[in-house]
Chains A and B, each alone.
Chain A
């Protein structure tokens, strides 16, 4: 009898009319049925305008209120859960064959949370606001190469690029392209952007609107009655709390249940794993993407004795490496061969819990993840081969075990941020590298200082020989490769160390691949070019990738349904679909 009732209930539910099928909810939920959703970020949001965001926390907090035209899904392709009614592609005619013009059809009848009508004019305005240089938006990179964004009619927007752009979803899709209301933001364009009070309470088309906002502390949201899907969102209110630290957040999700969603649990795997497995309250949800923890090798000479010329590329020939020993490919290859990424991944990243070993600097989207690199000799941990490489190249071990050649000793400084896991990784690397004849001095710098262009101890100045940190990219790798390793982006005094090629690597071959990548419109050829760029960097040992880290590492309550993070967009990208 009971079983029959259960079966009947299940049948009844699947037969009932549901809202537009969403990603992962099991049954159609009625709007506002749920109570309060508690989200906990150990970095508190400080601003609710995604275009003025200083970090993921701000972009995520903003995503509950405002939305882009479409989001980036797990494979790096757009998903139509935003303001666009369908995704334009070359096949449906939304993208012209020269990849220069993209026509977006917007949903009709959409309202802002204050009841006014949304139209293509708001999209065109957002472009004007975001891409005005005086606004100094932190998302302004998505404006590069965009010629115009025009409202053709109230429900159609045309995005035109200056040149063929194989990444035609660059503007309008994902976390960098949230749409704001023209009426609210009209006085905040340009220099006025930095004092804009609308940033504290933006009006949006998303599932929630701001109730209270205490920057650096908590945001409380109530559901947006004007949201376009009458059956969503499920939760009546959301409390987005920030502050504290990652272990505290893990405790709140796994042990006390005070948080339904605890973000970015950067906790030692040895502590996180038992907490997650023993927990009856929450699960650890992760997704892999393009986040790679990597070791950079300095091609310039960081010797302090050079004074002003320290860390500068060669003035006459920038393709020439000037580092005393890393200019020798054999030395770089030996360093790579003595890099034990497997041990690091197993011991410190929970053996797949928060990271897996990788020898690719570009790991996603999957078609661009090189399958050939695993066979490179520089990707295999082999101390004997490393020693042989150095012997062959004439680096002789001295009585203290440190190799030298022509008076140059293999003494290197290895820097990274202050972080328990990273310090342990440094220890492992140091012990292996010293076995092959290096002398390694370890250095760790506060993250707030490491990632500035002004600090002599920072990643940009790179006044050390080896450094390590994590970086990730967009679904299209062009800006990732260009910003990281092209000749035009070499960090130096001339650009106040702001450019992204910290290694000072400059190669005509690499630049040629990037130039092709900027123009190639055939996707399979693009994939091949990306793999080629990745493999070149590996074989020249410009960078040594160690671990592919999870993009999202969050503690999610077992009763919370619909959470499905993508590595290419905010963890809040489909928050409207969540329910309990």
Chain B
């Protein structure tokens, strides 16, 4: 197992290099320009724009800029944002807690909801309960998040005035009252995303459990006289969760990517919003840094998922 992990990590390095190269080429070819923000404003004439472009290093050809960036990366320097002149790593550090607080929590909430719901749905297959759960889950991932988000805002913020819909990222949770505030401002985006995630996980768990329920070992357990509840939870659920755990692990890099639409609607300053805005503005250092971090996370969690699978399922052996 140790050798397997080492080999995977070594292969990861050229994979990551290739990813950075592709990202850089695409950004260089895209017609995005950090100076597009000035529009046609005559107060920033061509000479000024040329000077700004030169000062950002944009007069160099893209392969020179790539090598320079790579050199910086190896030293741990992600560069400076074109827009804010602040180190990119600081921007990411500012955004990460918000993303984790909303998208990360929603992911966990989705799982927590999906476990019992998926289990019940599988055990009581084709019952009225199962059908209604299925309908709700289909609706859950068919209805786009911007729609559910807006509906929630109109109901809870505009009409009832129960919840704020503008996220305050400076809120520090130090006591029960601030925790309450944090919950109040994040409950809507968490609900929107959590329901979406719950819908997906419910389907996975249900289908996995349905595959295991008719198997021989379950019949054996029942014939041994074990309580049905114990059979389902201790035996069937645990075995069904093996592929689900790996899917959850693979989905974690997505959490770090943020949920762009939801972040936009609820004004949550997360990484997704940072990435999209930086792409539109042509803020290359930020885009390449964020995408590089994603690439690292995806490669890493792919490895984690594979290793977990091997750990949890004794039938799998890696050489």
Contacts and interface: CB of A to CB of B under 8 A. Distances in A.
Interface of A: 40, 44, 46-47, 49, 52, 54-55, 133-142, 144, 176, 191, 193-197, 199-200, 212, 214-218, 220, 239, 241, 243-245, 248, 251-252, 255-256, 258-259, 446-459, 469, 471-474, 479-480, 483-484, 489, 495, 498-500, 502
B84 A453 contact: no
B84 A216 contact: yes
B107 interface: no
B282 A448 contact: yes
Given A141-B44, A199-B84, A40 B166 contact: yes
Contacts of A495: 46
A200 B84 contact: yes
A465 to B, nearest CB: 18
A116 B16 CA distance: 50
A448 B281 contact: yes
A498 B50 contact: yes
B242 interface: no
A49 to B, nearest CB: 8
Contact of A199 (B85, B95, B157, B264): B85
Contacts of A251: 153, 157-158, 165
Contacts of A447: 36, 39
Contacts of A193: 55, 85
Given A140-B48, A216-B91, 11 more contacts: A47-B83, A215-B94, A216-B269, A244-B265, A248-B267, A252-B166, A448-B280, A451-B39, A451-B40, A454-B31, A479-B42
A469 B85 contact: no
A471 B267 contact: no
A275 to B, nearest CB: 10
A136 B52 contact: yes
A256 B161 contact: yes
B191 interface: no
A500 B269 contact: no
A244 B43 contact: no
Contacts of A199: 84-86
Given A215-B91, A448-B282, A136 B169 contact: no
Contact of B267 (A138, A243, A457): A243
B64 interface: no
Contacts of A255: 157-158
B225 interface: no
A471 B41 contact: yes
Given A241-B166, A454-B33, A197 B86 contact: yes
B253 interface: no
A354 B166 CA distance: 25
Say which size band chain B's interface belongs to.
Answer: 35 or more
Which residue of A220, A248, A469 has the most chain B CB atoms within 10 A of its CB atom?
A248
Contacts of B46: 489, 495, 498-500
A136 B48 contact: yes
B54 A47 contact: no
Given A200-B86, A256-B161, A459-B40, A452 B51 contact: no
B108 interface: no
A457 B30 CA distance: 12
Interface string B275-312: 00100111000000000000000000000000000000
A452 to B, nearest CB: 4
A489 B85 CA distance: 31
A540 to B, nearest CB: 20
Given A256-B165, A258-B164, A471-B42, A215 B49 contact: no
Which residue of A52, A135, A215 has the most chain B CB atoms within 10 A of its CB atom?
A215
Contacts of B274: 216
Contacts, number: 190
Given A133-B51, A218-B269, A471-B42, A449 B31 contact: yes
Given A52-B85, A194-B55, A448-B32, A176 B165 contact: no
A136 B55 contact: yes
Interface of B: 31-52, 54-56, 80-81, 83-86, 91, 94-95, 153, 157-158, 161, 164-166, 168-170, 264-267, 269, 273-274, 277, 280-282
A108 to B, nearest CB: 32
A189 B182 CA distance: 42
21 contacts: A46-B81, A46-B83, A136-B48, A137-B48, A141-B42, A144-B45, A194-B55, A194-B56, A194-B80, A195-B85, A200-B86, A214-B170, A218-B170, A241-B166, A447-B39, A448-B32, A448-B33, A471-B41, A472-B41, A479-B45, A498-B49
A387 B124 CA distance: 75
Nearest to A254: B158
A130 to B, nearest CB: 11
Contacts of A451: 36-40
Which residue of A197, A218, A243, A456 has the most chain B CB atoms within 10 A of its CB atom?
A243
Contacts of B273: 216, 243
A457 B260 CA distance: 27
Contacts of B48: 136-138, 140-141
B42 A256 contact: no
Which residue of B84, B265, B282 has the most chain A CB atoms within 10 A of its CB atom?
B84
Contact of B37 (A55, A455, A458): A55
A116 B111 CA distance: 56
10 nearest CB pairs, A to B? A498-B46, A215-B84, A452-B33, A483-B42, A217-B269, A136-B55, A455-B31, A136-B51, A46-B83, A46-B84
B170 A138 contact: no
A453 B91 CA distance: 28
B73 to A, nearest CB: 17
A42 to B, nearest CB: 9
A571 B165 CA distance: 25
Contacts of B35: 54, 452-453
Nearest to A144: B45
Contacts of A40: 166
Contact of A244 (B37, B267, B282): B267
Contact of A141 (B45, B94, B266, B280): B45
Contacts of A457: 31
B267 A241 contact: yes
A191 B54 CA distance: 10
Contact of A471 (B40, B157, B165, B170): B40
A444 B266 CA distance: 28
A304 to B, nearest CB: 17
Nearest to B263: A243
B38 A54 contact: yes
A194 B34 CA distance: 13
B158 to A, nearest CB: 5
A244 B168 CA distance: 13
A458 B86 CA distance: 29
Contacts of B31: 449, 452, 454-458
B209 to A, nearest CB: 41
Contacts of A453: 33, 35, 49
Contacts of A214: 94, 169-170, 269
Given A258-B164, A448-B36, A452-B33, A217 B169 contact: yes
A528 to B, nearest CB: 22
Contacts of A450: 36
A48 to B, nearest CB: 9
Contacts of A136: 48, 51-52, 54-56
A534 to B, nearest CB: 15
Contacts of A469: 39-40
